[in-house]
Amino acid sequence: MPKSGQSGVVLPVPAADPVLDRVRERYPGLVREVPAHVSVLYPFLDVDVLTPDDLTALDDIFTSQAPLDVSFATCAGHGGFVYLPPEPVEALDALSVEVQEHWPQLLPYGGAYGRPRPHLTIVMGADEPTAARVSEDVRAHLPLHATLGEAWLVVFTDHWSVHRRFRLDGR
């Protein structure tokens, strides 16, 4: 569970929200109450230490990036974790690395998983039979195609909310 004031940087994927909503209805409690997204860096800086320079740096990184066309054609998972890997992954991976290199003191997921590949989380903490059913249900709605045109800085209070939006302009 995130703590109040914790933030993250994500790329929203509205095209996947209907799939997440269906899974959320069928498997209550396994899908987080956040819109579909690919994490760029989580956790990011706590909101109380976030500076205007940090926001400017994020803006500079994202406005230099063109919108990204991605597909989610397969469903993957392990240990109760079900996710969609984006294709192609290279530009998303490079964007995540660029943000992480700007704030090297921040480790993705607190360093728990090394340097994770970009992904869209469907469920976490499912038992194996449930994870298999979720994967099967999700596969019926693939492939998904999306143009990722903005990044969000999200902040947790008692729920996640968008603190700042950054356009991917390709300037």
Among 27-31, 68-72, 153-157, name the one with the lowest average pLDDT.
Answer: 27-31
- Residue 62 corresponds to which tokens in the numbers above? 């994202």
User: Helix or strand or coil: residue 86?
Assistant: coil
- Determine contact, residues 140/18, Cβ cutoff 8 Å: no
CA distance linking residue 130 with residue 41, whole number of Å: 28
CA distance linking residue 74 with residue 79, whole number of Å: 17
CATH number at residue 115: 3.90.1140.10
Which domain covers residue 91, as residue numbers? 7-167
Length, in residues, of the chain: 171
pTM comes to 0.93
Q: How far apart are the first and last CA of the chain?
A: 37
* The residue type at 47: V
**Eight-class DSSP state of 149:** -
Residue 2 lies in a domain: no
Q: Collect all residues with Cβ–Cβ distance below 8 Å to 47 and sequence separation of at least 6.
A: 5, 6, 7, 155, 163
26-69 confidence digits (pLDDT tens): 998 899 888 999 999 999 999 999 999 999 999 999 999 999 99
Structurally, the chain folds into a number of domains equal to: 1
23-38: b (≥16 Cβ within 10 Å) or e: bbeebeebbeebbbbb
Q: Which of 55, 36, 56, 17 is nearest to 153 (CA)?
A: 55
* pLDDT on residue 109: 65
Q: What is the pLDDT averaged over residues 14-34?
A: 94
83-124 confidence digits (pLDDT tens): 999 999 999 999 999 999 999 999 876 655 667 789 999 999
Residue 68 lies in a domain: yes
Residue 1 lies in a domain: no
Q: Collect all residues with Cβ–Cβ distance below 8 Å to 111 and sequence separation of at least 6.
A: none
Residue 137 lies in a domain: yes
Confidence of residue 133 (pLDDT cuts 50, 70, 90): very high
